[in-house]
Chain A
Amino acid sequence: MKPTKPTPRRPVLRVRAGRHLHGGPLTYAVLIVFTLGSLFPLVWTAIAASRNNTRLSQTPPPFWFGGNLFRNLHTAWTDANMGLALLNTAVVAGTIALGTVLFSTLAGFAFAKLRFRFKNVLMLLVVATMMVPPQLSVVPLFMTVAELQWTDQLQAVILPTLVSAFGVFFMRQYLVQALPSELVEAARVDGASSLRIIWHIVFPAARPAMAVLGMLTFVAAWNDFFWPIIALTQDNPTVQVALANLGQGFVPDQSVIMAGALLGTLPLLLAFVLFGRQIVGGIMQGAVKG
């Protein structure tokens, strides 16, 4: 065997800088502290939910799990109507996400690739409305809902949020780049109808953006607070309405309140564990595009 002589390595010409630098120990330390800070309140929700009210009224506060988790979850499920709330929220958030994605893709495609009158004016209108706060429409919406006797019915929270100006803008920005105009024109020349173009060309091209928009809309709809708390009551609540009632003294037991908070958050946390990378990718992608 020939002894390998250590050959002197040529000096590397490329300088390591920017994102090619490795993080040092301090980088990791700060990131770990920040991550712990992000996760701790959630973990502590579970800890508090597994204790009882007496234990939560003592110092030092508990740092580890107790044995009351399932009893508290059960109480929250029955007394605070969390079971119905979860079902309602799934229906509401699912419908809103579906509607927003569908309508935003159609409108976004039209704004990105089709010619029609008033196109620019209409697009300007869409962009202008992205800034209008929900507070500005809550009084008339409440009157309408009362007039139609929709109080406590899910359509009262679904219909006003079924479309979003941001969604249309987002899909337009994506389709302008991602969908070649030649493809649409070629399909036209071949005599394809608009519906066929939508189904066979636009939807496949838009799929990544549709997924991102769907996820973001679902999370936003799941966590929507202001309008549901006005339109719904404890009799037919969404998760946020049920939690608001818990927090405002519906059940005076702190550990049950924490159990309710845990129940209401768990579905989205589960989705984060499963699709975390995709959601992170979606938000970062949306940031660059937007």
Chain B
Amino acid sequence: MPAQTRHEPHDIAVAIAALVAPIFDVDPATLSPSTRLMADLPCESIDLLEIGAGLNRCFAIPVRDAAAFLTDLRIHVLEAERTGEAPEARLAREYPHLSATRVAEVLAAVRVPGAPPVLTIGDVVAYVAWSLARHAGQPA
């Protein structure tokens, strides 16, 4: 799919749904930006790796899995609390693709004991959109 020509968030979301659906053997139409990858789907670390590799291929962008999939989220929050930094500022710096509203949501969710990982397809869409804008013209 020549996804480099599809940079609108809706089109990115459709492309990511098409990428994710066969991994979990689900209908792409059942996926949306609000779908939680680790909570609504049986998504494991190797699935995230495959999604990351697929993003590389589909969008021709470099993918830093730790940022795209918020894998170090709790570590960043703990580290911010240890150093006295505002967690919101830390997360905004680590995940520049997330909006301030989303950072607040993520931070609230991660503070709930036992809550599942908060990563959504919408977060991945935001990462791809941010990366496409940042790396326009650079090889993946």
- A and B from one complex: no
Chain B contact residues, CB within 8 Å of chain A: none
Chain A contact residues, CB within 8 Å of chain B: none
